[in-house]
Amino acid sequence: MRYPVPSEHFDIEVAYAKPEEQVILTVTAEPGMTVQQVVERSRIAERFPEIDPASAKYGVFGKAAKGDAPLHPGDRVEIYRPLIADPKEARKKRAAEGKQLKKGGGES
């Protein structure tokens, strides 16, 4: 999909969420700006020092994006927090717990 090259500034949203707080900032961008440049311009790392723009994981509207990905008018950059648990291990654990519950069939 090709986008028209804007000749003016345009707005980009930068989103970050923690369990207790969610933030969406609007940043004015120029044509050719990248995900990482917009995140740095948003100064969100001043509010959330755990964000390292150089190593953070990003997405644009829920699709993974690299820091050097170009942005288009109206895009929303999402900054992802590191995973606390490996999703595969968590699924295995839940599945094992479910099997243990089903085996007993309840108390008599």
Q: Which pLDDT score, from 0 to 100, does residue 64 have?
A: 95
Joined tokens for residue 102: 């089903």
- pTM across the whole model: 0.71
Q: Do residues 5 and 30 lie in contact, with contact meaning Cβ atoms separated by under 8 Å?
A: no
Identity at 33, one-letter amino acid code: M
- Helix residue spans in 1-108 (DSSP H): 35-42, 44-47, 87-104
Q: Which pLDDT score, from 0 to 100, does residue 2 have?
A: 55
- Please give the residue that has the higher pLDDT: either 87 or 34: 34
Q: How far is CA 60 from the centre of its chain?
A: 8
12-21, 26-35, 42-51, 80-89, range with the lowest pLDDT? 80-89
Q: Which pLDDT score, from 0 to 100, does residue 105 have?
A: 52
Q: List pLDDT tens digits, range 50-103.
A: 998 888 999 999 999 999 999 999 999 999 987 776 778 778 878 888 766 555
